[in-house]
Amino acid sequence: MRSCRGTSFCPQIGPGWVLGIFPLEFPNRKRNLVVTEFMDCRNYNIKMGLARRPAVVSGCCLLMVASALCVAQAAEVPGQPAIQADVRRDAAVEAVERIMPSVVNIGTETVVESRDPYEDLLQDFFGYRRRRQAQTEYSRGSGVIIDETGYVVTNDHVVRGATKVWVKLNDQAKPLEAEVLALKRGTDLALLKLKGKPGQTFVAARFAPDDDLFLGETVLALGNPFGLGGSVSRGILSSKSRRPTQTDEALNIEDWLQTDASVNPGNSGGPLINLRGEVIGINVAVLKGGQGISFAIPIKVVAEAVSEIFTPELDGLWFGARMNAGVRSLQVQSVEKDSPAALSGLKVGDVIVAVENTVPRTFIEMNRLLLAAGVGKDIALRIKRGGDTKDLKVRQIREETFFNVELIQKRLGASLQQLTPKLAENLGVGATSGLIVAGVEKDSPAAAAKLERRFIIQAIDRQPTPTIVAAARALHARGRGEKVTLSLVAEQIEGRFIHSYMATTEAVLR
């Protein structure tokens, strides 16, 4: 290796640095190890190009430096070719290697019940109903694993209505079946759970910090375009706050990321990543007729949606607080009134440090601890509030014990029953999901909104209400005297015929 004298410049190290070589003694060893160390010749007396041995040496640092120098020496042995890094392995390649085990291909099967107007005529006049012929539809999409236990984020439109969902990992030939845990149509996101073997773990992707974006930075889109699987496209971040040409209010997304990385059918639900291999967005749409204009849901919106989706309420428990699901600390974002969290004294801004004396590493791990704790017992929470550490006790309850038909009756003045396909067929109503009105109190908000028996409530304030719990939650979140918009399937009788039609009405809660 090249020797550096005095304060001359060493290309491998820097100005004023030299290499010192001296023996390092180890106890219980018959031979000593010669270790080479970087030293600053401005701090040591230099004679004949050799540095004196420093008084105190860190063995750990010396071993690391020695290893590095051994590699460098090996690369410069005369007569042998120098070992060089592969020029193809740039930041993009390394980012793909980090994220690829977390990217999944999603296949869905949807059984669609067909409805023939001629069949309805037979039913109305003759009471005769033929067996409906079901049609099966297939589609493909992408997703990304966000937790080692097998939770996957994808687009709502990829799995909505699917009868079966399969997920294929890039390193496995056989797909796994997945369960759709929750859908959030407003942000076009869905949460799945892989049905793996007991104890099986997966590689989880890492979220980028909120708004940690550079306009023009290199980004990579991964997914399953046209069912090809394991595909990567490269581009730049074209815009950090760009909406689709025609804003769709139902999506409720304030700003989409725009990129020129190629996104094709099947890429939906796959990750958009930066060169650190962190997820900065979820691929969602392509501008029709545009060239190189694709969109992704920002990771900030994804984290907020996941924090609302993945909660103890997934298993029917009521905890009643929401934490941020990003890379920040587990800070409480909201607390529901009258909830177990509120009754325990938990407040917005608190940071959860431990659950049952276990320090959760991630948002999902914290919720797993709450799910495992169940109901009927006090759960120990350790929080930080300002500069103080506090210990709280919270006792979760089953959702249906609070969010039930009695709460709806109290706030709305209507008796509701959850509709099932079988019940809908028996009643002959024009919908198969929602909440059917079984009765209306006189002089109640429901009566003022002109609700009638057999009307079906399908959404409150544009949020789907397929269950009693969902409807009761929506009403509980509103205060007394506030208005709610009810989306209905209403009926109108004309002679011997009953016509169903979509309608909306407003009710003032009591």
Distance between CA atoms of 85 and 64, rounded to whole angstroms? 19
Give the bridge partners for 35, in sequence order: 22
How many domains is the chain partitioned into structurally? 4
| Nearest Cα to Cα of residue 105 among 138, 139, 142 | 142
| Nearest Cα to Cα of residue 205 among 303, 293, 121 | 303
**Domain contains 368:** yes
List the end-to-end C-alpha distance of the chain, in Å, as a whole number: 85
**Domain contains 29:** yes
Give 368-393 pLDDT, tens digit per residue: 899 999 998 999 999 999 889 999 99
Which parts of 152-251 fold into alpha helices (H)?
A: 156-159
Q: Answer yes or no: do 212 and 318 share one domain.
A: no
For residue 288, is pLDDT > 60?
Answer: yes
Radius of gyration, alpha carbons of the chain: 31
**Domain contains 84:** no
Q: Answer yes or no: do 97 and 236 share one domain.
A: yes
Query: One of 156, 157, 231, 233 is an active-site residue; which one?
Result: 157
Average pLDDT of the chain to the nearest whole number: 79
Q: Answer yes or no: do 59 and 102 share one domain.
A: no
Is 157 annotated as catalytic? yes
DSSP assignment, residue 425? H
Query: What is the token pair recorded at 303?
Result: 């984290």
Angle subtended at Cα 332 by Cα 328 and Cα 333, rounded to the nearest 5 degrees = 90
DSSP codes of every residue in 8-27: PEETTTEETEEEEEEEE--T
| Nearest Cα to Cα of residue 408 among 462, 457, 374, 348 | 457
Q: Domain range spanning residue 190?
A: 90-310
**Domain contains 1:** no
Cβ contact 437:414 at 8 Å: yes
Tell me the angle at which helices 468-476 and 405-412 cross, rounded to the nearest 10 degrees: 40
The share of the chain scoring above pLDDT 70, in percent, equals: 73
Q: Answer yes or no: do 410 and 394 share one domain.
A: no
Query: What is the token pair recorded at 418?
Result: 């959850």
Boundary of a domain, candidates 281, 310, 339: 310
Q: Answer yes or no: do 23 and 127 share one domain.
A: no
A 10 A CB-CB count for 143 gives 31
Distance between CA atoms of 347 and 370, rounded to whole angstroms? 17
The CATH number linked to 407 is 2.30.42.10
Distance between CA atoms of 368 and 211, rounded to whole angstroms? 27
**3-class DSSP state of 33:** strand
DSSP assignment, residue 331? B
Is 188 annotated as catalytic? yes
Q: Answer yes or no: do 184 and 281 share one domain.
A: yes
Query: In sequence order, which residues have a C-beta less than 8 Å from that of residue 329 and are 6 or more positions away?
Result: 351
Q: Answer yes or no: do 117 and 249 share one domain.
A: yes
Query: One of 139, 142, 156, 188 is an active-site residue; which one?
Result: 188
Distance between CA atoms of 170 and 400, rounded to whole angstroms? 40
DSSP codes of every residue in 205-218: P-BPPTT---TT-E
| Nearest Cα to Cα of residue 36 among 78, 8, 70, 2 | 70
Give 262-280 pLDDT, tens digit per residue: 888 788 899 999 999 999 9
The CATH number linked to 265 is 2.40.10.120
Q: Answer yes or no: do 23 and 138 share one domain.
A: no
Is 8 annotated as catalytic? no
Residue 118 pLDDT level (bands cut at 50, 70, 90) = low
Higher pLDDT, 201 or 10: 201
**Domain contains 80:** no
Residue 269, Cβ density class (10 Å: 0-12 exposed, 13-18 middle, ≥19 buried): buried
Q: Answer yes or no: do 137 and 170 share one domain.
A: yes
Boundary of a domain, candidates 276, 310, 344: 310
Give 40-64 pLDDT, tens digit per residue: 444 444 333 433 444 444 444 444 4
Query: One of 268, 294, 307, 344 is an active-site residue; which one?
Result: 268
Within 13 Å, how many C-alpha atoms sit on residue 156's CB side? 15
Boundary of a domain, candidates 343, 377, 399: 399
Of 97-101, 203-207, 357-361, 497-501, give the lowest mean pLDDT range: 497-501
Distance between CA atoms of 50 and 280, rounded to whole angstroms? 51
Residue 172, Cβ density class (10 Å: 0-12 exposed, 13-18 middle, ≥19 buried): exposed
Q: Answer yes or no: do 375 and 431 share one domain.
A: no
**Domain contains 4:** no
pLDDT recorded at residue 86: 87
**Domain contains 265:** yes
**Domain contains 81:** no
Distance between CA atoms of 146 and 143, rounded to whole angstroms? 9
Distance between CA atoms of 441 and 438, rounded to whole angstroms? 10
Give 11-42 pLDDT, tens digit per residue: 444 444 444 444 444 444 444 444 444 444 44
Give 462-488 pLDDT, tens digit per residue: 888 989 999 999 999 999 999 999 999
Q: Answer yes or no: do 103 and 194 share one domain.
A: yes
| Nearest Cα to Cα of residue 468 among 427, 508, 419 | 419
Of 123-127, 141-145, 239-243, give the lowest mean pLDDT range: 123-127
Q: Answer yes or no: do 111 and 200 share one domain.
A: yes
